[in-house]
Amino acid sequence: MQFKIIPHFRSMIWGNSDINVIFELENEMPIGEIWLLSGHPLYETKLENGISLNEFGRSIYDSKYERFPILIKLVSTKQWLSVQVHPDNDYANSFEKEPWGKSEAWYFLTDGEFAICEDVDKMKEYINNGKMDKLNEVMTFVKVRKGTFVNIPAGTVHALGPNSTVIEVQQSSDLTYRIYDWGRPRETHIEKAIQVSKSIKISDILSENTAGLQTPYFTFSTTLPEKDSLIVEIPTEITKDFCAKIILKETVDNQSDKIYVYNFL
């Protein structure tokens, strides 16, 4: 069975106005995220026949959760996202009354960059000494090529860089604790961020397998040899017999990737 999903477009301060042009959107702010598949109450996507993803999950795939357990986005940037961290399941359950924390993974549709903090103790030292404006000194910056998979488990202090377009697969959570925002006057969540942050090494998150990666919450892979689509699967102990396919095609000018269709299999 195949079911086409209707995406939701979300404007972001760091977004990419090229997305507005590609999809012929007239938003004043640039689009930063396209929610391709979501059962999250903030933006719940629907199938082309009008059924919500959560209804679909309960009726077709016998999901045991009120909310569909994963969320898939296209994220496209012109500026750095904030330095941020997401809580794990235990913290989300205990302190946010949410069913899940937020582990995520990226597949780069373009060349791009990101940063992580490999030494959280050093980050805490900077914060305690009032050196917030120098937090970039404790971040490790990484440039990656198109086709790279990156795993971002909960607790990883990270930031997605400018001029990067990724497919992001994550647990169905919007819990984000912002630490530093590159001079933008948005709210930060330092106390919670310190509580959930973990030292994660670059070698632990960059996938050596160019075909995909596996996490406790989903498997994320590309079809070979064409690499014209991405496959997302959920372990059967979470939701049985689920597979999603993201079909990628080139735009008319062949300069950037565009998602035309999003299908369940």
Local structure of 263: helix, strand or coil? strand
Average the pLDDT over 20-44 and give the result: 91
* Of the candidate ranges 68-72, 74-78, 147-151, 233-237, the one whose mean pLDDT is the lowest: 233-237
- Angle 220-221-226 (CA atoms, 0-180°, nearest 5)? 155
d(Cα 102, Cα 112) in Å, to the nearest integer? Answer: 22
Report the predicted TM-score, pTM, of the whole model to 2 decimal places.
Answer: 0.90
Instruction: Say how many CA atoms lie within 13 Å of 245 toward its Cβ.
Output: 14
**pLDDT given at position 259:** 38
- Cα separation, 117 vs 158, whole angstroms: 7
- Map out the domains of the chain with their CATH numbers: 7-219 (2.60.120.10)
Residue 39 phi, psi dihedral angles, 5° rounding? -110, 10
Which DSSP string corresponds to 5-24? EEPEEEEEEEEEHHHHHHTT
Order of strands, edge to edge, in the sheet holding 31-37?
8-16, 31-37, 70-76, 165-171, 104-108, 149-152
DSSP structure string for 72-124: EEEEE-SSPPPEEE---HHHHHHHS--S----EEEEESSSEEEEE-S-HHHHH
Q: What is the Cα 196 distance to its own chain's centre?
A: 18
Is 147 a residue whose pLDDT tops 50? yes
DSSP state, 54?
Answer: H
- pLDDT 10s digits, 81-125: 999 999 999 999 999 999 999 999 999 999 999 999 999 999 999
β-pairing verdict for 31-37 and 212-214: unpaired
Which residues does 64 contact at the CB level (< 8 Å), separation at least 6? 239
